[in-house]
Chains A and B, each alone.
Chain A
């Protein structure tokens, strides 16, 4: 952490948010059973126990995405991060975990740290992850084998990196949306929400 105990800089904020995404995506993948639970290990962060994948392919993929995301967060060019869960049999999008990112672009020019302690931010992050864990109770069961993808909504004027390409928004045709908690580092504000396909019975 580059930030001091009292304030937070844009770099520190980007790192905190990227770390949150790493843990958040891992817990969604664990909770939704996209990968088998035995491929996860327990770690403790934010004062709570979290699940981290041990699948090497998945690990490298996530580190790639999060590293790139950190750069973009630092440049304040990212608007959204979306985790899409797709059914492999029908290629239908079943769930969309959307994290809206509001960047305070003025923080880019002024290097002065903001007044917000890391502990307060981590408390907010913890409550968001708790809520993600709790959403399993109302989300419909994923009955078919599924895979996930991470979409990043960026500014239009951004140069596309080598490994990346443009994609569609992967919108669910008939969806129910649930807003989750949000947290802010006072530079980046992350609003989280989940949209899922309406089941026929509902």
Chain B
């Protein structure tokens, strides 16, 4: 107790001194943090002790005063000690600072390295950026191509839509048929079920029937057998009866047999007699027939005789009437021969006459030819005569003219003679007169000649006329003959020729008609075809339709649609251009959507973009899940580590790990390890680690084992806690 008191005094003193010396050594105040936890108790104790100390002080006032001097010395010593200690501390701090400096230098180096790496990364990124730009341009091209394809695809889609429409129609039809067929099918199945049931019933009935039939047939067989036996027995009975009756009849039959034999003999005799009689009858009949025949012949002969007698009489009469000596057939034959001879002669005459006719015909044809010649000649002659008549008339006129001239001349001459003296112009006039007379003579001669010729010609014509008349007469006669001989004759041949010519003509005309008919048919067919194709005669017909018809409406609609599409295309082109100008805007869809919304047109995102978006979303989702899983796993791992090793390990900064023990007395008690560049772990100084100098020295500096150090710390803390628990 005393010792304890002493120590307390000492401690109080110490504390008091420290309190006094605080302003001189402010650093010391923060030095003993380990004792601060027991301040309360200490304070109480110190309060008690202070009371005691007052008492002691009062006792040891003097001692104290003595001791004060010692104390002063002591404090002096102590101060020196303290100073030394501070020096050592500062030296250690310096070392610490040097270490930190080194660390910082290392860090700077690392940072420089990192900077270098960053620069490399930057250059790589720049290259990557370029590559991406190239890619982007490629994508732009692709996009354009896609747009083109999209257009074609749209066209094909429209085509396909039409097809789909057709197919839908077909499908509807088929659906309806299918539904009806299914209905039918159901009905049929129901019927089938019914039929099956019936069939089963029927088959059961059949089986029963068959069994019945089999039993029946057995019965029938038995019955038949019995019947057969019965019949045999009946037959036997009848046979027996017959035999009995026959046996009874045998003596009667023998008697009858005898009688019949007798009869038989008698009948044979009578049959022979009968055949003899029959032969006789036959002979008589033949005789009778012969007699009748002879009788008929006799009658006929008599008749013939009478006829012949009549004929003879007729012949005799004929002979008497004709006066010929036809008393006998020879006379007749002679007569006949005579008649035949006469006939032959007549025939010969006939032939000669026929030949005459033919010759006459020939002569007639000759004469006709001659006649025509003669006619021609007469015509010529007539012409000549006419010419000569005209000539004669002309000549007569000339003669008249000449006579008048001559008279005029004579009158002139007479007048001249009377007026003028005949001597003056006499020779001249005489010459003229003579000349005129010569001419006159000549003309007169000529005239006479002409008259002679004329008379001659007239005579000729007269003869010709005579001849003509004779010829005409001949012709008439010939004609008559001809008419008599053959009415048709040469005329018919002429008509035949004409007929043939006419026939030819008719045939030609017929052929032409057929040709024309064919042509007409062809033309009609063509006309029909044209009519079918919708051709019309613009003179008679006019084609009308309503102004607002579906075609024009559809065309207008189409045009409008086309314009709208064109506008859209231009807009889209602008959009594409702006996108190209924007460069990296393609991947940011927000911008694109902004653009599209600003153009009041929703750009349908291409399929690729959509796909990429989807992929991205899924990737993000996966990432999220992985993160969650990792966090979970890390948490699990940490808790497991915490539970198993008793340390919670946290990463404060890079390459720094903070370990806090389960059994730590304070929340802030922790150890910090730093991972060096060579992979070794280094313990960093903390408030807690400072209290573990011994363990650090032993396990880290000597044994160089971090796990051992950590285990030692754990054990120490655990023991401390358990002791505290035990104490409390």
A51 CA to B107 CA in the complex, in Å?
Answer: 91
> A167 contacts B543, CB within 8 Å?
yes
Q: Check B535–A154 contact: CB distance below 8 A.
A: no
Once the chains bind, are B548 and A149 in contact (CB under 8 Å)? no
Cβ–Cβ contact B542 & A82, under 8 A: no
Tell which of B539, B540, B547, B553 touches A163, judged by Cβ atoms closer than 8 Å: B547
Instruction: Give the distance in Å from the alpha carbon of A160 to the alpha carbon of B539 in the complex.
Output: 16
Complex Cα distance A176/B548, Å?
29
Closest to B163 in A: A143
> Which residues of the other chain, A, contact B491 by a CB distance below 8 angstroms?
none
Q: B551, A169: Cβ atoms under 8 Å?
A: no
Q: Is the CB of A143 within 8 A of B162?
A: yes
A residues near B544, Cβ cutoff 8 Å? 151-154, 160, 164-167
What separation, in Å, do the CA atoms of A88 and B531 have in the docked complex? 26
User: B545 at the A/B interface (Cβ < 8 Å)?
Assistant: yes
Please give the distance in Å from B569's CB to the nearest CB on chain A: 18
B536 at the interface (CB under 8 A from A): yes
Residues of B within 8 A of A65 (CB): 546
Closest B residue to A161 by CB, please name it. Answer: B544
B541 within 8 A of A: yes
Check A169–B543 contact: CB distance below 8 A: yes
Measured between beta carbons, the chain B residues less than 8 angstroms from A168 are 543
Assuming the contacts A58-B550, A64-B546, asked whether A170 and B541 have C-beta atoms less than 8 A apart, the reply is no
A residues less than 8 Å from B539 (CB atoms) = 156
Bound CA–CA A164/B547 (angstroms): 5
Tell whether B265 is near chain A: CB-to-CB under 8 Å. Answer: no
Interfacial chain B residues near A166, Cβ < 8 Å: 542-544
Known: A152-B543, A152-B545, A164-B544. A195 touches B532 (CB 8 A): yes
Closest CB-CB distance, A5 to chain B, in whole Å?
35
- Contact mask for chain B residues 517-557; partner A; CB cutoff 8 A; 1 contact, 0 none: 00000000000010111111001111111111111011100
Given contacts A88-B554, A195-B534, whether A61 and B541 have CB atoms under 8 Å apart is no
- In the complex, what residues of B have CB within 8 A of residue A170's CB? 534
- Considering the complex, give the chain A residue whose CB is closest to the CB of B173: A37
Binary contact track B247-279/A, C-beta < 8 Å → 1, others 0? 000000000000000000000000000000000
A158 touches B534 (CB 8 A): no
Asked if A163 and B546 make an inter-chain contact with CB atoms under 8 angstroms apart, the answer reads yes
Q: A33 within 8 Å of B by Cβ? A: yes
The A-contacting residues of B in range 122-159, CB under 8 angstroms, are 158-159
Given the contacts A33-B169, A36-B165, A37-B169, A150 and B546 also touching, CB distance less than 8 Å: yes
Cβ-defined contact, B543 with A177, below 8 A: no
Interchain CB contact under 8 A, B551 and A82: no
Interface centre among A145, A160, A168, A172 (most CB of B within 10 A): A145
Complex Cα–Cα for A99 and B335 (A) = 101
- Considering the chains assembled together, what is the distance between the CA atoms of A166 and B538 in angstroms? 12
Assembled-state Cα–Cα distance A109/B264 (Å): 117
Q: Is the beta-carbon distance between A147 and B554 smaller than 8 angstroms? A: yes
Cβ contact within 8 Å between B533 and A177: yes
CB distance from A95 to the nearest CB of B (A): 11
Contacts of B166 in A (CB 8 A): 33, 141
Cβ of A46 to closest chain B Cβ, rounded Å? 21
- On whether the beta carbons of A167 and B545 are closer than 8 Å, the reply is yes
**Residue A70 CB within 8 A of the other chain:** no
Tell me whether A153 and B549 are in contact in the complex, defined as CB-CB below 8 angstroms, given that A33-B166, A79-B541, A160-B544 are known contacts.
no
Which residues of the other chain, B, contact A23 by a CB distance below 8 angstroms? none
Mask, A68-105, CB within 8 Å of B = 1, is 00000000000110101010100100001010100000
Could you say which residues of chain A place their CB within 8 Å of the CB of B535? 169, 171
Are the C-beta atoms of B159 and A143 separated by less than 8 Å?
Answer: yes
For the complex formed, measure the closest distance between the CB of A60 and the CB atoms of chain B, giving whole angstroms. Answer: 10
CB of A175 closer than 8 Å to a CB of B = yes
* Binary A-proximity of B228-261 (CB < 8 A = 1, otherwise 0): 0000000000000000000000000000000000
Answer whether residue A155 sits at the interface, using C-beta atoms and an 8 A cutoff. Answer: yes
A169 to B553, CA, bound (A): 19
Nearest CB in chain A: distance from B548 CB, A: 7
Quote the shortest CB–CB distance from B352 to chain A (angstroms): 83
A71 CB → nearest B CB, Å: 12
Q: Which of B165, B539, B549 has the most CB of A within 10 A?
A: B549
Residues of A within 8 A of B159 (CB): 143
The residue from A61, A148, A164, A175 contacting B533, defined by CB atoms under 8 A apart: A175
* Set B165, B169, B549: member contacting A150, Cβ < 8 A: B549
A: number of interface residues (CB 8 Å): 49
Residue of B nearest to A142 (CB): B162
In whole angstroms, what is the CA distance A100 to B531 when docked? 9
Q: List chain B residues, Cβ under 8 A from A98.
A: 532, 534
Q: Tell me how far the C-beta of A100 lies from the nearest C-beta in chain B, rounded to whole angstroms.
A: 8
Q: Identify the closest chain A residue to B172 (Cβ).
A: A37
- Whether A28 sits at the interface, judged by CB under 8 Å, is no
A198 CB, nearest partner CB in chain B, Å: 12
Say yes or no: B549 contacts A156, CB within 8 Å: no
Q: Is B558 an interface residue (CB 8 A)?
A: yes
Report Cα–Cα, A96/B172, bound state, in Å. Answer: 28
CA distance A96 to B530 in the complex (A): 13
A107 interface hit (Cβ, 8 Å): no
The residue from B542, B550, B553 contacting A158, defined by CB atoms under 8 A apart: B542
User: Is A193 interfacial (CB 8 A cutoff)?
Assistant: yes
Q: How far is the CA of A82 from the CA of B546 in the complex (A)?
A: 13
Q: Bound complex: CA of A62 vs CA of B496, how far in Å?
A: 75
Q: How far is the CB of B166 from chain A (nearest CB, A)?
A: 6
Separation of A145 and B159 alpha carbons in the complex (Å): 9
Selected contact of B545 from candidates A57, A100, A147, A150, CB within 8 Å: A150
Which A residue sits closest to B166, measured CB to CB? A33
What separation, in Å, do the CA atoms of A69 and B704 have in the docked complex? 117
- Using A37-B169, A171-B535, A195-B533 as known contacts, say yes or no to A154 and B545 having CB atoms under 8 A apart: no
- Using Cβ atoms and an 8 Å threshold, which residues of chain A touch B553? 57, 147
B533 near A149 with CB under 8 A, answer: no
Task: Chain A residues near B168: list those with CB within 8 A.
Answer: 37
Cβ contact within 8 Å between A151 and B532: no
Asked whether, in the complex, the Cβ of B545 is within 8 Å of the Cβ of A165, the reply is yes
Please give, as numbers and ranges, the residues of chain A lying within 8 Å of B543 by CB-CB distance: 151-154, 166-169
From known contacts A172-B533, A193-B532, infer whether A156 and B547 are also in contact, taking CB-CB under 8 Å: no
Chain A positions within 8 Å of B169 at CB level: 33, 37
The CA-CA distance from A169 to B543 in the complex, in Å, is 7
Q: How far is the CA of A96 from the CA of B534 in the complex (A)?
A: 8
Taking a contact as CB atoms under 8 Å apart, the answer to whether B542 and A61 are in contact is no
| Whole-angstrom CA separation of A39 from B523 in the bound complex | 45
The residue on A at minimum CB distance from B539 is A156
Whole-angstrom distance between the alpha carbons of A80 and B541 in the complex? Answer: 10
Roughly how many angstroms separate A152 CA and B542 CA in the complex, as a whole number? Answer: 8
Are A171 and B534 interface neighbours, CB within 8 A?
yes
Closest B residue to A179 by CB, please name it.
B532
* Alpha-carbon separation in the docked complex, A88 to B317 (Å): 126
Chain B residues whose C-beta falls within 8 Å of the C-beta of A175 in the assembled complex: 533
Let me know if B551 and A155 touch, CB within 8 A.
no
Residues of A7-58 at the interface with B, using a CB-CB cut-off of 8 Å, are 33, 36-37, 57-58
Residues on the B chain within 8 Å of A84, using CB = 551
B534 touches A149 (CB 8 A): no
Query: Contact between B536 and A153 (Cβ–Cβ < 8 Å)?
Result: yes
A169 touching B549, Cβ below 8 Å? no
Complex formed: what's the CA distance from A129 to B84 in Å?
A: 130
- Bound-state CA distance A163–B535 (Å) is 24
Instruction: Specify which of A91, A148, A160 is in contact with B550 (CB 8 Å cutoff).
Output: A148
What is the distance, in angstroms, from B291's C-beta to the closest C-beta of chain A? 93
Q: Judge whether A88 and B532 touch: CB under 8 Å.
A: no
Give the residues in chain B near A80, CB-CB below 8 Å.
534, 536
9 contacts between A and B (CB under 8 A): A80-B536, A149-B550, A151-B544, A151-B545, A155-B540, A156-B540, A156-B541, A164-B546, A177-B532
Residues of A within 8 A of B (CB): 33, 36-37, 57-58, 61, 64-65, 79-80, 82, 84, 86, 88, 91, 96, 98, 100, 141, 143-145, 147-156, 158, 160, 163-172, 175, 177, 179, 193, 195
The 9 closest A-B pairs by CB, nearest first: A147-B554, A147-B551, A177-B532, A149-B551, A167-B545, A149-B549, A164-B544, A169-B534, A152-B544
